[in-house]
Structure formats: structure tokens, C-alpha cells
């Protein structure tokens, strides 16, 4: 009887040790997967959260608003820091302007200048801004002149928003110029995306435009680049996943989607910085910054 008890205890101890080893190994594997993944679906904790009020108007504002044939620019979503760059030559550094009518959001031109400065270090320095912000009258005339194949109706163009610009090169067409090639590789590092890629025309509804870039900000531009997503696809992805975490240049960002149907409340961290952006459809994206 004593011998039976002795062997029983031995078997139980060996089994417990095996379970502990398996658990420890599993924990290490999970940590490795998170560290090496560019983006992972996450479930944010409830600690250090505070509740804030948001209005339905927030849906129509921010760097991630979707503007296309189905979702127009709302007046409240237009950038309020639009400048005529010809009249602010101190902001025109390292690139040219097609003419003296080019207007753009000041925050976007600052991000663009940072990007162009990085390109200059790589020996790429023949950039030209061909178009920026357009008001509805200008867009309406362009639509009349160019037709539906080459332009969108007034209010449905990203150029009516202030976050998009047409970038050219003084050397060649953008689909052949070194400037175009550099932007394809590097624009996402500075918050810009090629809005109408060649392989996304069925999704965007717009023909390939190698010159049209849109500012969406980090980390969103990098996630879109890594996953090869158009803005339409990226917003649908966020809506489906609800919460993701991504690492960009060693910094961790947390992104979450919140459906909004009327004035409501959402939870945000009270000990970390964050930004809000509507998607111009049905919700708000919260980006928790490093």
C-alpha cells in the first residue's frame, strides 16, 4: 500500500512539472508572435480609462475621413488651416509650385516638407506641387471640363478637403520619375498614402493616379502600406477588428474603432496621448500614441 502511494505521488509531480513547462513555453511563443508582428488584434484593458463625450459631427472630421463618390466632404470636416503657398514662401522649401494658386493645409505642408527633406538626402530633389485644396466652384469647373472619367463632382473630391495634393516632378511623369518611385517606397513613413493605386481601381472607383497623395498620418499610412490596403479597405478592416496594435519604428500604437450613431460617449486612456478621427461614415477611430 505504501509503495502504491509513493508511485502515485511521483506520477502526479511529474505531470505537474510537464504542465508548468508547457505553460512557460506557450507564454514565450505568444510574446514572440506579438513582438514580431506588424499588427495584432488586441483587447484593450479597462485600467486608466476615462469617458469622454463625442458628437455625431466628429464622424465627419479628421485625417481618416473617407471621401469618394458615396461619401462627400462635410463643411465641418474641411481643414481650417488652408494657406496659399505662394503667399507663404517661407513654407515652400525644397519643392516648386505649378502656379500661384496652390493652397494646402498648413499641417499637411509641414509633413510634406519633412518628407521632401528626407528625399533630398537620398538625392531626390525635383518635386513640384501641381494641385492642392480646391473649393467647390473650382472642382465643379474641373468636373465639367474633364468629365466623370477624370474628375469627381464638387464636394466628392479629396481636394475639397485640404488633405490631398497632386505631386509632380520637373524631370518626368510621376509614373517614370525618380520622385514618383521614391514616394511609392517612402511616403508612408511620413503619413502619406498613394490614394489611387493601379491595383485598387475597382475599389476606389478612380483610375490609377501616380501623382495623387493623401495625408492620413502615422501609424495608419504604414499599416496600409504593409497590408496593401486602400483607404476604403483599411477603414473596413478597422471596423471589423475593432482593436489593433501596431509597431512603427519601434513605437507601439493602439487603434480602435467606435461606432457612433448620435451624440455619445467613448472610453480613452487618461494617462496617454491620443487622437480622434471620424471615418465619414459611421464611427470614430481612436489612435493611442506612444
**For residue 21, pLDDT beyond 70:** no
Whether residue 95 is found in the same domain as residue 197? yes
Whether residue 81 is found in the same domain as residue 160? yes
Question: Where do the DSSP E strands lie in 106-211?
Answer: 127-131, 164-169, 192-194
Size of the chain, expressed as the number of residues it contains? 290
Give residue 40's pLDDT: 53
The answer to whether residue 100 sits within a structural domain is yes
Give residue 84's pLDDT: 97
**CATH code of the domain in which 79 resides:** 3.30.1380.10
Choosing from 209, 232, 233, 254, which is the catalytic residue? 209
Whether residue 280 is found in the same domain as residue 155? no
Active site residue 233: no
Print the SS3 string covering 38-63: CEEECCCCCCCEEEEEECHHHHHCCC
Whether residue 144 is found in the same domain as residue 260? no
Query: For 137-166, what is each residue's pLDDT tens digit?
Result: 999 999 988 888 778 899 999 999 999 999
Domain count, the chain: 2
8 Å CB contact between 124 and 118 = no
The answer to whether residue 244 sits within a structural domain is yes
Whether residue 97 is found in the same domain as residue 162? yes
Three-state DSSP at 270 gives coil
How many other CB atoms are there within 10 angstroms of residue 95's CB atom? 23
**For residue 230, pLDDT beyond 90:** yes
Q: Which of 175, 191, 215 marks a domain boundary?
A: 215
The answer to whether residue 33 sits within a structural domain is no
Give residue 4's pLDDT: 44
Whether residue 129 is found in the same domain as residue 239? no
Mean pLDDT over 39-59 rounds to 76
Give residue 15's pLDDT: 44
Whether residue 154 is found in the same domain as residue 137? yes
Give residue 89's pLDDT: 92
Q: In what order do the strands lie in the sheet with 164-169?
A: 95-97, 127-131, 164-169, 212-215, 192-194
Whether residue 200 is found in the same domain as residue 151? yes
Whose cell is 495625408? That residue is 215
Q: Which of 155, 184, 215 marks a domain boundary?
A: 215
**For residue 190, pLDDT beyond 80:** yes
The answer to whether residue 26 sits within a structural domain is no
Whether residue 124 is found in the same domain as residue 201? yes
Backbone angles phi, psi at 53, to 5 degrees: -90, 140
How many other CB atoms are there within 10 angstroms of residue 19's CB atom? 10
Query: For 193-210, what is each residue's pLDDT tens digit?
Result: 999 999 999 999 999 999
Mean pLDDT over 67-83 rounds to 95
Quote the domain boundaries for residue 268: 40-64+230-290
Please state the pTM of the whole predicted model.
0.84
**Greatest Cα-to-Cα distance within the chain, rounded to the nearest angstrom:** 99
Whether residue 58 is found in the same domain as residue 78? no
The answer to whether residue 4 sits within a structural domain is no
The answer to whether residue 147 sits within a structural domain is yes
Whether residue 140 is found in the same domain as residue 183? yes
Give residue 48's pLDDT: 86
Q: Which of 162, 185, 215 marks a domain boundary?
A: 215
Dig out the grid coordinates for 204 from the structure: 476606389
The answer to whether residue 19 sits within a structural domain is no
Amino acid at each position: 500500500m505504501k509503495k502504491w502511494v509513493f508511485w502515485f505521488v511521483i506520477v502526479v509531480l511529474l505531470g505537474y512539472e510537464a504542465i508548468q513547462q508547457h505553460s512557460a513555453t506557450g507564454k514565450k511563443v505568444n510574446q514572440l508572435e506579438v513582438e514580431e508582428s506588424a499588427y495584432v488584434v488586441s483587447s484593450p484593458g479597462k485600467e486608466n480609462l476615462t469617458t469622454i463625450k463625442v458628437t455625431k459631427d466628429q464622424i465627419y472630421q479628421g485625417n481618416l475621413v473617407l471621401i469618394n463618390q458615396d461619401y462627400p466632404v462635410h463643411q465641418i470636416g474641411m481643414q481650417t488651416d488652408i494657406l496659399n503657398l505662394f503667399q507663404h514662401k517661407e513654407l515652400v522649401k525644397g519643392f516648386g509650385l505649378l502656379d500661384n494658386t496652390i493652397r494646402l493645409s498648413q499641417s499637411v505642408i509641414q509633413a510634406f516638407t519633412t518628407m521632401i527633406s528626407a528625399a533630398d538626402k537620398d538625392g531626390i530633389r525635383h518635386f513640384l506641387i501641381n494641385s492642392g485644396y480646391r473649393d467647390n466652384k473650382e472642382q465643379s469647373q474641373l468636373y465639367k471640363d474633364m468629365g466623370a472619367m477624370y474628375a469627381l463632382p464638387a464636394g466628392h473630391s479629396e481636394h475639397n478637403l485640404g488633405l490631398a495634393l497632386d505631386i509632380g516632378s520637373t524631370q518626368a511623369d510621376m509614373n517614370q520619375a525618380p520622385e514618383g518611385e521614391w514616394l511609392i517606397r517612402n511616403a508612408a513613413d511620413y503619413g502619406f498614402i498613394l490614394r489611387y493605386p493601379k491595383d485598387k481601381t475597382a475599389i476606389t472607383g478612380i483610375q490609377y493616379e501616380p501623382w495623387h497623395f493623401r495625408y492620413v498620418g502615422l501609424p495608419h499610412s504604414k499599416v496600409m502600406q504593409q497590408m496593401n490596403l486602400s483607404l476604403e479597405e483599411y477603414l473596413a478592416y478597422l471596423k471589423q477588428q475593432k482593436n489593433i496594435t501596431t509597431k512603427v519604428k519601434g513605437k507601439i500604437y493602439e487603434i480602435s474603432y467606435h461606432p457612433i450613431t448620435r451624440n455619445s460617449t467613448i472610453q480613452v486612456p487618461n494617462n496617454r496621448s491620443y487622437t480622434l478621427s471620424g471615418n465619414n461614415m459611421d464611427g470614430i477611430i481612436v489612435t493611442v500614441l506612444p
